[in-house]
């Protein structure tokens, strides 16, 4: 059986190499993670989003300056994966707005 030429495939998605990626089969790295970290040192929380959670978590715990450096080590107390970057930004802003509020604890189930 011969493979269909890329031009005739029934979906429009960026071609990576010679194999097109169907939107339903998106890879994990195409997703975004909204996360809440808690400092084991000071108890402060950090809210953020990324498209590579493991890398970003490592950066927080190995930071040489800024918030990460002053408050490391961190533990993950919440994370949620979403497909769209816009959705991740929206969730991050929403969680930051709730930060320190009883509603924050209620929604995320963390202290």
pLDDT score of 1: 45
Residue 48: the pLDDT is 93
CATH code of 75's domain: 3.40.1440
In a domain, 17, yes or no: no
Residue 20 lies in a domain: no
pLDDT for position 9: 47
The pLDDT value recorded for residue 99 is 64
Looking at the domain assignment, is residue 96 inside a domain? yes
pTM above 0.75, yes or no: no
**Boundaries of domain holding 102:** 28-108
Q: Which helix (H) or strand (E) holds 76?
A: strand 74-82
CB 57 within 8 A of CB 74: yes
Strand, coil or helix: 71: helix
**88 alpha-carbon distance from chain centroid:** 7
Domains in the chain, number: 1
Q: What is the mean pLDDT of each run of 10 residues along the chain (111 residues)?
A: 47 51 54 92 91 91 88 90 93 83 71 58
pLDDT at 103: 73
Q: Considering the domain boundaries, does residue 100 fall inside one?
A: yes
């Amino acid at each position: 059986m011969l493979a269909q030429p890329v031009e005739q495939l029934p979906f429009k998605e960026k071609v990576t190499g010679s194999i097109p990626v169907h939107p339903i089969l998106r890879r994990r790295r195409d997703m975004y993670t909204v996360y809440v970290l808690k400092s084991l040192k000071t108890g402060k929380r950090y809210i953020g989003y990324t498209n590579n959670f493991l890398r970003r978590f490592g950066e927080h715990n190995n930071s040489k300056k800024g918030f990460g450096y002053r408050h490391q080590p961190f533990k993950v107390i919440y994370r949620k994966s979403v497909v769209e970057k816009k959705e991740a930004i929206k969730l991050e802003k929403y969680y930051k707005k709730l930060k320190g509020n009883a509603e924050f604890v209620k929604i995320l189930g963390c202290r």
